Structure 1
């Protein structure tokens, strides 16, 4: 039996309008066209609370992530071997690690940002993220950056 990843692919017409507006609000913020979440929400006609409720759970689907760099952010418990396990998982999926930034752990939890290069031989990135999220001590993995890989 196949494990539930917690991810679904649905057609745009089936996505509630508020979720589509959250994606648009995130784009406005990332592009610098607006300075605050409140401004983005107001411009799109949604409440600020709706934006914050869904902003971590909806991302635009890209048919292929090949030829890109991705920045993953998450928090991780400060436990011996946990970072090593996550890095090995990335290697197991065939992605190339470009940068790793880790904060000093506060209250036993560190913030991390890892930038990876998706190669032609890299396996399914969403499956990799799902496996990372299922590791005890790793909290909410997010793709926070995406760009074309320079050759």
Structure 2
């Protein structure tokens, strides 16, 4: 039976500390702040074996989405200009909006489905999503597809 890979998107607070340290060690190596895996492991406080065990299994969300389409659903307050602000955030990060579907607001809340193409020039996708999520008036945001 072929080995099927499953991917999960989890918030940072749900990721075990050792995995976050592996990500930090990889960043140190990528930015050449350290020259060896041993130096990176020592600096972040993990063993070399932990680094090697997890290095291919964890990466920042943004590292694996260039050229992909992200679809997310959000619930937002029915406030004048809020949709425009969300779209402006996407534009600021240089992502391409492919589709927008907004429901008719019920009880002052609308559901928005947004598909965004992540381009080579797109900035940090995690930061973009976080900027949208923390915008006043956004009640809920969930990534529902990555293609």
TM range (shorter): 0.5 to 0.7
- Moved beyond 2 Å, runs of 4+: 6-14, 60-63
Range with greater deviation from structure 2 (84-93 or 130-139):
130-139
Corresponding residue for residue 84 of structure 1: 84
Distance between the aligned counterparts of 2:121 and 2:64, measured in 1? 13
Instruction: Show CA shifts across 1:43-72 (max 9, x none).
Output: xxxxxxxxxxxxxxxxx9654100100001
- Count residues in correspondence: 98
Q: Secondary structure at the match of 1:75?
A: strand
* Cα drift, residue 94 of structure 1: 0.5
Corresponding residue for residue 51 of structure 2: none
What TM-score do the two structures reach when normalised by structure 1?
0.58
Runs (5+) with no aligned partner, structure 1: 1-5, 15-59
Corresponding residue for residue 145 of structure 2: 145
Corresponding residue for residue 105 of structure 2: 105
* Within-5 A mapping of 1:1-151: 7=12, 10=15, 62=61, 63-147=63-147
| Residues 134, 12 of structure 1: alpha-carbon distance in 2 compared, 3 angstrom cutoff | closer
What TM-score do the two structures reach when normalised by structure 2?
0.60
* Cα drift, residue 11 of structure 1: 6.1
Backbone CA RMSD of aligned residues: 2.6
Structure number with bigger Rg: 2
Instruction: Show CA shifts across 1:11-43 (max 9, x none).
Output: 6976xxxxxxxxxxxxxxxxxxxxxxxxxxxxx
* Cα drift, residue 88 of structure 1: 0.4
